[in-house]
Amino acid sequence: MLNIYFGNMEEAIYDPSMYFRNQYEEKWIIDEISKKIIKEIDNSKVIDKKVIESPVLGSITPNDLSGGAKTLILIAHDKKNIFNATTCGENCASLLLELAKKREVNINLRYIMDFGEGEFKIKIKNSGKIVKNMNELLAEATKFI
């Protein structure tokens, strides 16, 4: 399940891009979930663990990925930390829900991400309430943010 803490969260990694720059592992880049994230979010293709092909920028390194892609890769691979996923745009919502299908995923959000029209299961950590659609999420999350 996806667990979200809305608003300022002291223990969350506030700047995931900086954390990624110093902590990512090359093997992460070439696994299937990272390839999918990089394809869906940055419209780019993983060539090898050090090189990614961007349609706009040409050959780039993992550090040049978007903030959203880097944060999702961290969420997928670094299970001990909670990341500020405000760096993830709303095009990251479906991938966050997908990552949370397999395990408990904890994130911090400082804006209300739109998870779309469908049903989902998200726990608002501020109150402990589980919400199942965007109307329920908005009613609960706007209390905190």
Partner 1 sequence: MKGEVKINIHNNKVIYEFTLKRNITIVRGKSGTGKTTLYRLVSDYMKDNKGSGVKITMSSGESCIALSDTDWENQIKKIKNSVVFIDEGFNGFKNGKSINDFIRRIKKTDNYYVVFSRESFEEIPSSVEEIYEIETSKSKHTFKKFYELNKSHRLNVNISKKDNFILLITEDSKSGKQFFKEYYKRTDMKVDSANGNSNIISKINENINKELMIVADGAAFSPYIDNVYKICKHNKNVNICLPESFEWMILKSGILKVKQIDETLNNSSEIIDITKYFSWEKFFTYFLEDITKDKKLLKYEKKKISAYYLNEKNMKKIAAVIGL
Where do contacts with partner 1 occur on this chain (CB under 8 A)?
A: 8, 14-18, 41-43, 56-58, 64, 66-69, 84, 86-92, 110-112, 114, 134-135, 138-139, 142, 145
Least separation in angstroms between CB 144 and partner 1: 11
Least separation in angstroms between CB 110 and partner 1: 4
Least separation in angstroms between CB 117 and partner 1: 8
Which among 39, 23, 42 has a CA at the least distance from the CA of 31? 39
**Closer residue to partner 1, CB minimum distance, 30 or 57:** 57
**Closer residue to partner 1, CB minimum distance, 1 or 112:** 112
Is-contact 90 113, C-beta < 8 A?
yes
User: What are 2's two structure tokens?
Assistant: 């996806």
Which among 49, 43, 48 has a CA at the least distance from the CA of 69? 43
CA angle centred on 99, ends 120 and 76, rounded to 5°: 150
**Closer residue to partner 1, CB minimum distance, 110 or 125:** 110
Least separation in angstroms between CB 30 and partner 1: 19
Distance CA 46, CA 75 (A): 18
